[in-house]
Amino acid sequence: MKFGACVGLDEEKILTMKELGFDYFETHLGDLAALSDRDFSDFTEKVETIGLPCEASNCFIPSDYPLVGEARDYKKIDKYVLHALDRAHKIGIKVSVFGSSAARKIPQGVSEDKAFEQIVFFLADIVSPIAESFGIEIAIEPLNKKECAWINSLEFANRISQAADKDNIKILADLYHMHAEGENVSEIIRLGNKVVHAHIANPVGRLYPSETDGFDYIPFLKALNGAAVSRCSIEASNKDFPIEAGGALGILRRGQEELTVF
């Protein structure tokens, strides 16, 4: 399994990750899409110079592109998705995470059944064919209820994936959100190859994993291995990125080594 971290467009952190031995970095797709053509070209050139691939993205849809309710504008959404995923393809992204809590929130007066129908249409009819043309998989991210009122579990995300019925519409497993919702990591193994990507953090405070935080990350890593998940990104806050990122990567590498002994 490859290990990365969510660092947006921060070139200094990307360089540090390369020096620390990370496998890839995960960027913010909305920010990547918002760059001017010149700035995007400059960023991709710097990434190539650093030599650390960008294989994943999060924050797929910005808040000003509502996906549910009467305010949605499919022409505008389609144009954004095409532009964003074209950029993703050009920089090398293989999987794009669909969390986007503000964009997917259910407006007052809209039923959850109608919201479900509209999200499935968005993923199956708009996103999937564009993503397929670029060889990108989409990972639906369940969020805890404090961040979003619905799509809060792997099982619910799987219902959406099944309804979309597209090979490239899959699921993300995020340890922080799963812990907040009391969801057992065995769900990852149960869903198997539907789980295509993962995020990890110390669930208490959403911090970088450390030797002193007292949390056991092995069950989560073991579940990811059991589902053959190929990438796992740290998504967390930090105060001293080089120290905290280096320590977290060491924990994840040692955990992976422990699992491969048996």
Write down the pLDDT at residue 259.
79
Mean pLDDT calculated for residue range 85-91: 98
pLDDT digits (tens, 9 = 90+) for 200-211: 999 999 999 999
- The residues pairing with 209 across neighbouring beta strands, listed in sequence order, are none
> Residue type at 187?
E
> pLDDT digit string (tens) for 141-174?
999 999 999 999 999 999 999 999 999 999 999 9
Is the confidence at residue 261, as pLDDT, over 60?
no
Q: Is the pLDDT of residue 246 over 70?
A: yes
The model's confidence at residue 262, banded by pLDDT at 50, 70 and 90, is very low
**Chain segment 31-64, per-residue pLDDT in tens:** 999 999 999 999 999 999 999 999 999 999 999 9
> CB of 243 within 8 A of CB of 209?
no
* pLDDT more than 70, % of the chain: 99
Q: Which residue has the tokens 């911090």?
A: 207
What values do phi and psi take at 205, rounded to 5?
95, -5
Q: What digits encode the pLDDT tens for the residues 192-241?
A: 999 999 999 999 999 999 999 999 999 999 999 999 999 999 999 999 99
Name the E strands within 120-229.
137-140, 169-174, 195-200
* Domain range list for the chain: 2-261
CA distances from 170 to 19, 24, 97 (A): 32, 20, 9
Q: Which residue has the tokens 């532009």?
A: 83
Q: Which fold has domain 2-261?
A: TIM Barrel (3.20.20)
Instruction: Check residues 63 and 262 and name the one with the higher pLDDT.
Output: 63
